[in-house]
Chains A and B, each alone.
Chain A
Amino acid sequence: MNDLAAPLTELIDQLKRLPGIGQKSAQRIAFHLLRAPRESVQHLSEALLALKDSLRFCSVCNNITDIDPCRFCSDAQRNPAVICVVEEPHNVLSIEKTRQFDGLYHVLHGAISPLQGIGPDQIRIKSLIERLRATSPDGQPLVREVILATDPDTEGEATAMYIARLLKPLGVKVSRIAMGIPVGSEIEYADEVTMLKAMEGRREL
């Protein structure tokens, strides 16, 4: 490795920390950037910093956003009566890909994991309950259905069970996505058709 100039070695080391990038890919990217015009490298580095500096969590749904409330929460075309609960921000993308869901989201930023000591208080469940307490001017609850789209594994299931138990007394309809997604896998990897089937086949808890 010492055959390379120090800045190249440093860049390759940094790139290798990214998911899915091994030594070969890191080298290829590094040499590509070396040959690229200065402006395009500058655009890339600015985009990387902007990602860290301008993004935050939506104050309503906890999704990652550059405007607050986020695009989903401030979109009048979307149906505020249905909230889909997911573990991570990237799960929103998987559900959006189905183009069938027009409700709002709630991002938990994790799942209940007794083995890791992660309990209900460590993920964003409280703010979900607060959202469900909101009523229209005539006193009707704004949210009518909560779809639990946590991962179809032990932790996702435990999280869904816990939330369902909390929501029951609130009188809101609670449903769980169907196990069309193979158990033990992650929603992130589900294709559109599988995800669509999982949403359509949801059962009431």
Chain B
Amino acid sequence: MPLREADAIILRSYPLKESDKIVSFYTREYGKLRGVCRGARRPKSGFGGALEPLTHVRMQFFERPNRDLCTVDRCDVVASMLETASRDYTISVGLSYIAEIAEKLLPEREVQDAVFRLMLVVMAALRDGAPIWLPLLYDQYWNVRLAGFLPDFSYCAACGAALVEMAGYHPATGEGLMCPDCQHPASSHLGATSLRLAQAMARTPLPQLLTSAENAREAFADLRGLLHERLEAHLEHPLQSWRLLLQA
């Protein structure tokens, strides 16, 4: 029964029995795991707020042979999102969406340092007071990209022309973005502002992108929708928090 120590981000927790919790967490060293935290729902448990979604923690746990669940022994907060989530309702729903993407998209026990770093960057921006919408978009973009199903935002998938003013795409077909000449009749559209942002996200760190964050909720609604569709098409399951995010 080896004791392991890891840098981890809490993705989700569920109540278990009287006073325990099951927690799903993403470790830098071992990938995504699930574990039992005994007594975690009691006030004097020692876990405190460490098991809330998106808390960055230093974690100690035991893995047992042939068991899916490990036993979490200790969990120390490195950085919490609770205060950020308490800023307003919209941020808290946005954070749930970010946690849900990771929880559903990441395969168990697969190490992907880039995803781990992505989450740290997104959360740091939000803790620094950034409004939710641009970091959320950045999180969607890089998750889709790292999972390998990002469309080309620069050139038409049919004729190769540069995409500038507008691009069409058809969620059902799963084909790439197309220029106005090639697109299907019933296409959804991505405007010039979103195209530019998507192109910039490939090479610009999040803190620099934040300067264009103004009005990001409305300005990039089309891009957010497209990335969400890609995620759901890949997952083959709806992301529960999306509906609440639209209303938040």
Contact surface of A with B, Cβ cutoff 8 Å:
19-20, 112-117, 119, 152-154, 157-158, 161-162, 165, 181-186, 189-191, 194
Contacts and interface: CB of A to CB of B under 8 A. Distances in A.
B240 A116 contact: yes
A183 B96 CA distance: 17
Contacts of A189: 19, 41-43
Nearest to B42: A189
B168 to A, nearest CB: 31
Interface in B27-71: 40-45, 47-53
B93 interface: yes
Contact of B51 (A19, A184, A194): A184
A177 to B, nearest CB: 13
Interface of B: 12, 17-19, 40-45, 47-53, 82, 85-86, 88-89, 92-93, 95-97, 99-100, 103, 240-241, 243-245, 247
A135 to B, nearest CB: 27
A47 B40 CA distance: 33
Contacts of B47: 184
A153 B42 contact: no
A182 B241 contact: no
Contacts of B48: 182-185
Given A154-B82, A158-B92, A161-B88, A185 B53 contact: no
A184 B88 contact: no
B27 to A, nearest CB: 20
B93 A117 contact: no
Contacts of B85: 154, 157-158
B89 A153 contact: no
Nearest to A119: B244
A115 B89 contact: no
A184 B55 CA distance: 11
Contacts of B17: 19-20
A115 B12 contact: yes
A185 to B, nearest CB: 4
Lowest 6 A-B CB distances belong to which pairs? A183-B49, A114-B241, A114-B96, A117-B240, A161-B89, A185-B43
Contacts of A191: 43
B89 A165 contact: yes
